[in-house]
Structure 1
Amino acid sequence: MSDYLLEMHDITKDFNGVKAIDGIHLQVRRGECVGLCGENGAGKSTLMKVLSAVYPYGTWSGQILWEGKELKARNIRETEEAGIVIIHQELMMVPHLTVAENIFLGSEPRNKAGFIDYDLMNAQAEKLMARLKMSDINVALPVYNYSGGKQQLVEIAKALNKNAKLLILDEPTSALTTSETRTLLDLIKEFKANGMACVYISHKLDEVAEIADTVTVIRDGTHIGTQPMAELDTNKIITMMVGREMKNLFPREAHTIGEVVFEAKNISCWDVTNRERKVVDNVSFELRKGEILGVAGLVGAGRTELACKLFGCWNGDHEGKIFLEGKEISVRAPRDAVRLGICMVPEDRKRHGIVPLMGVGYNITMSVLKRYTSGGFIQSEAELAEIQNQIIRMKVKTAEPLLPIASLSGGNQQKAVVAKMLLPEPKVLILDEPTRGIDVGAKYEIYKLIFELAKQGVAVLMISSEMPEVLGISDRVLVMGEGKLRGNFVNEGLTQEKVLAAAIGQPITEAA
């Protein structure tokens, strides 16, 4: 009997002659967690889609051994029946079905008459959620009632229901709160202790360091190395991932902060579904030319709602005034904001940032399509030239410019969304979680771009849940909590403890 539950040997997969992965090896023992690391576009998700038969046998070359026998799966159902379950970075929920229906989708328990036994299904779903320490979830409610973090844990429940022997988690904590992340990591440790194997894909290397027994790194579709985590640290993993040592993840550059260019006064927003609840409560602030203003706060603080109001895309009731270059402006819709010089990179790129089946390049130029239109016709050559320029500028990895953007990695999709919002040459750029779900190398490039924009005089409002990121690149930090502005700090000697204290409503003694 093999020592390994899973062995992948010399796996190669290409798309239209372009190799996405080339000769990759991966081995996983029972009860082991393997951290799979690499930059966006390195081939991690492609490798896992080969393993889970999203790309069926025959569409790739190499060999997969499962429990010592060759696996030639033709679809996901076959790999799940074998005990291989993947939880994708993008959630696979059916929003209007209940939590229980999502967990049991395709394997619903039935009574003697052949009908779905909802009582039994709900009872079993409750047991699964209790195991995940999520007893507060009502399994009979539609899953859209719950946050992305809780939906991620519902995905874990689905995997448990399928009796997974190998659980593949692709960026599982990108939408989780700190407490939800803690719950998930503790669960993985419990799974390991019970003999379940895991492949853990994450750009959060502190998480990889905590739970992985072994780390495999791939770069540009090739296998760079596999080592025990005990022989590594996060800096060594980064060096393997990007091919160079990165001593400073936040490339601060000197830039001049000028006069006030943007001002929000007494901004309030009400919950879309509950007119009695304020999600943004009387927030006012100024933003200066060339300034990088970070916005920190815990989940539910109202940061994204504030950004949506400023960009004209908040669907609920709202009030307050916005001033640009000293003049009051009316922003009723995103097109108004873009026309005035206010652009925004949204938090959820899948829902609000891209048109999935449209080409990468057309996603980039759609914000300035009028530039390439004459007499009712699009000037294709000029548009394609701009597309090529932006792909090179943002280092977007794509086999060709008009490939559907949905086929790109999350990080490369994000680069394209940023490029789209830079083309209108904004005076104010709002970035809502700009580095969520992207690798350390891509983060570094986005940070460099933010400083480049600041040096050009663009005012940047950056919302981030990653405290080191906020403190690493901001000139000043706004702290929000429960919809209110609880702190406004110059970023000189500012600590995570001080920001967190403000976020949870402890007395603020230093303000600017």
Structure 2
Amino acid sequence: MAEYLLEMRGIVKEFSGVKAVDGIDLKVRRGEVMALCGENGAGKSTLVKVLSAVYPYGTWDGTILWEGRELKASSIRDTERAGIVIIHQELMLVPQLSVAENIFLGHEPTLPGGLIDFETMYSRAAQLMAEVGMPQIKTALPVSYFGGGQQQLIEIAKALNKNAKLLILDEPSSSLTKSEIDGLLRLIDGLRAKGTACVYISHKLEEVAAIADRVTVIRDGTLVGTAPMADLSVDEIIRMMVGREIKNLYPREPHPVGDVIFEARGITCYDIDNPAHKRVDNVSFTLRHGEILGIAGLIGAGRTELVSALFGAYPGRSEGEIRLDGEVLRISSPRAAVAKGICMVPEDRKHHGIVPQMAIGHNITLSTLPRFAPSLLINEEVELQAMLEEIRRLGIKAGSPALPISSLSGGNQQKAVISKMLMPLPRILILDEPTRGVDVGAKYEIYKLMFELARQGMSIIMVSSELPEILGISDRVLVMGEGQLRGDFINESLTQEKILAAAITQLPLAG
């Protein structure tokens, strides 16, 4: 039996003459959790797409050995048949189908004559869900009934049904709560004990430290090194990833905070499916000139609904009053909000932040097109200069502004969305989960940008599920729970414990 379950040797993948992956080696043993770390754009996704035959054999150079034999897969079906299964950051589930139907999609058991054997399918689905820690789940219910953490486990059950020997997890915890992450790590530990190997890709290095046996770091498409997790610290992984030491991830910079310029009064958002239920219930707050206001709370607390309503983007019925410089604003759409100086970077960049097949540069200038078309015709030269300047200013890793934005890594897409929302020169910038799926180096750059914008007088509202981020960046923190405002705290000696206490208590806590 070969020492390694998987060996990737000298993998090279080019796009238009540019090497996204240049001579990378990766080795994984049976029952091992290998963490794959690197900045956005480092080549992680390209490497696993080579491994899973999203990029089939013949479109890249190098060698893949699987269980000691060369693997020449021409499709995802080939790699899954071998036992290599990838779970993407964006879950590949069909919301309208049941849990069992999703688990067996494309591999349905059949009766003589070709009809689906539903009894076997539901029985086996129940067994698989028990294996991933959800024995009570009703597998006949549509996937849409379940939250993000449960859907992640359904994806893993789907992979186990394909007899996965190697499970590739790409940013599996980006949308999970702390308790859901803990459950996911316990599940991976259980799979390891049964001999299933995992390649774990995550920017959350505390998770890497908790679960990985070894760590492979790549930077700019090349291999930096591989080492046992026991021989590394989180700081050393960061240094390997970014090529420099980041002593303080939250580079707080002094900036003046002025008078109140924005007020939200009685903001209420009603559930789309159940109008009798309030997703946001009578929330009021203020925002000062040059202030960074963090909004914390558990998932489902109503944070995204609140800021979506401020931006005119909440899809259901909402009410309340907002004032800027004392003037009551009537905002019925994002276009109206941008015209009034309020811009927002949404939580879900894939569906609400980008136009995937449009060029990177055109995505960036989309919010300010009239600026480049004074006579109804776009001045392409002026627009191109603006594109290049924004790409340079935000440090977006792009070969050309003409490439589709979908070709960028998630972190660079996020930078492009931020750039788009800065182009109108807003007075108030709303950032909903601005660093989700973003590597540590890009996080640092985004934080630096936020402090620079605040120093220049821009007011920022930041929603984040990461309490260290809330505490490291905010001047003041609002805490929401069950749609209500539970706390309003100056960020001086504020702790995670106090924020969590406010989030779960039924009564507002004094700041």
TM-score normalised by structure 2 residue count: 0.98
Task: State the match for 1:324 in structure 2.
Answer: 324
Unaligned runs of 5+ residues in structure 2 are none
SS at match of 1:377: coil
TM-superposition CA deviations, 1:25-46 (whole Å, max 9, x none): 1000001110100000000010
Q: Does 1:475 align with 2:475?
A: yes
Q: Which amino acid aligns with 1:369?
A: L
Task: State the match for 1:408 in structure 2.
Answer: 408
Task: State the match for 2:273 in structure 1.
Answer: 273
TM-superposition CA deviations, 1:271-299 (whole Å, max 9, x none): 11011111101100000110000000001
Q: Is the Cα contact below 8 Å between 2:502 and 2:509 reproduced in 1? A: no
Q: Is the Cα contact below 8 Å between 2:373 and 2:379 reproduced in 1? A: yes
Q: Distance in 2 between matches of 1:214 and 1:41?
A: 21
Q: How does 1:251-330 map to 2 (within 5 A)?
A: 251-330=251-330
Q: Which amino acid aligns with 1:300?
A: G
Farther-moved stretch of structure 1 (68-77 vs 130-139):
130-139
TM-superposition CA deviations, 1:85-137 (whole Å, max 9, x none): 00111111222222221111110111112111223222222221222222454
| Equivalent pairs, count | 511
Q: How does 1:177-196 map to 2 (within 5 A)?
A: 177-196=177-196
TM-superposition CA deviations, 1:132-187 (whole Å, max 9, x none): 22245432232223223322221111101101000000000001111211111001
Farther-moved stretch of structure 1 (62-71 vs 374-383):
374-383
Task: State the match for 2:339 in structure 1.
Answer: 339
Farther-moved stretch of structure 1 (83-92 vs 144-153):
144-153
Q: Does 1:429 align with 2:424?
A: no
Task: State the match for 2:85 in structure 1.
Answer: 85
Task: State the match for 1:370 in structure 2.
Answer: 370
Farther-moved stretch of structure 1 (313-322 vs 218-227):
313-322
Task: State the match for 2:73 in structure 1.
Answer: 73
Q: Which amino acid aligns with 2:444?
A: Y
Q: Does 1:51 align with 2:67?
A: no
Task: State the match for 1:138 in structure 2.
Answer: 138
Farther-moved stretch of structure 1 (104-113 vs 481-490):
104-113
SS at match of 1:207: helix
Q: Which amino acid aligns with 2:369?
A: L
Q: Distance in 2 between matches of 1:496 and 1:9?
A: 44
Q: Is the Cα contact below 8 Å between 2:270 and 2:318 reproduced in 1? A: yes
What is the CA-CA distance between 1:366 and the residue it aligns to? 0.4
What root-mean-square deviation, in Å, do the aligned CA atoms of Structure 1 and Structure 2 show?
1.1
SS at match of 2:421: helix
SS at match of 1:121: helix
Task: State the match for 1:446 in structure 2.
Answer: 446
Q: Does 1:42 align with 2:33?
A: no
Unaligned runs of 5+ residues in structure 1 are none
Q: How does 1:158-173 map to 2 (within 5 A)?
A: 158-173=158-173
Q: Distance in 2 between matches of 1:428 and 1:140?
A: 46
TM-superposition CA deviations, 1:331-381 (whole Å, max 9, x none): 101000001000000000001001111111111110111111133221111
TM-superposition CA deviations, 1:182-217 (whole Å, max 9, x none): 111001000000011010000000110111000000
Farther-moved stretch of structure 1 (396-405 vs 422-431):
396-405
Q: Distance in 1 between matches of 2:154 and 2:425?
A: 41
Q: Does 1:174 align with 2:174?
A: yes
Task: State the match for 1:355 in structure 2.
Answer: 355
Q: Which amino acid aligns with 2:221?
A: G
Q: Distance in 2 between matches of 1:466 and 1:509?
A: 20
SS at match of 1:378: coil
Task: State the match for 2:123 in structure 1.
Answer: 123
Q: Does 1:64 align with 2:74?
A: no
Q: Distance in 1 between matches of 2:435 and 2:223?
A: 25
Task: Report the CA distance shift for 1:508/1:498 in structure 2 as closer, same or farther (over 3 A).
Answer: farther
Identical residues among aligned pairs (%): 65
Q: Does 1:149 align with 2:149?
A: yes
Task: Report the CA distance shift for 1:507/1:273 in structure 2 as closer, same or farther (over 3 A).
Answer: closer
Task: State the match for 2:227 in structure 1.
Answer: 227
Task: State the match for 1:113 in structure 2.
Answer: 113
Task: State the match for 2:210 in structure 1.
Answer: 210
Q: Does 1:503 align with 2:467?
A: no
TM-superposition CA deviations, 1:278-337 (whole Å, max 9, x none): 110110000011000000000110000001111101111211101111110011010000
What is the CA-CA distance between 1:509 and the residue it aligns to? 5.2
SS at match of 2:254: coil
Task: Report the CA distance shift for 1:136/1:296 in structure 2 as closer, same or farther (over 3 A).
Answer: farther
Task: State the match for 2:249 in structure 1.
Answer: 249
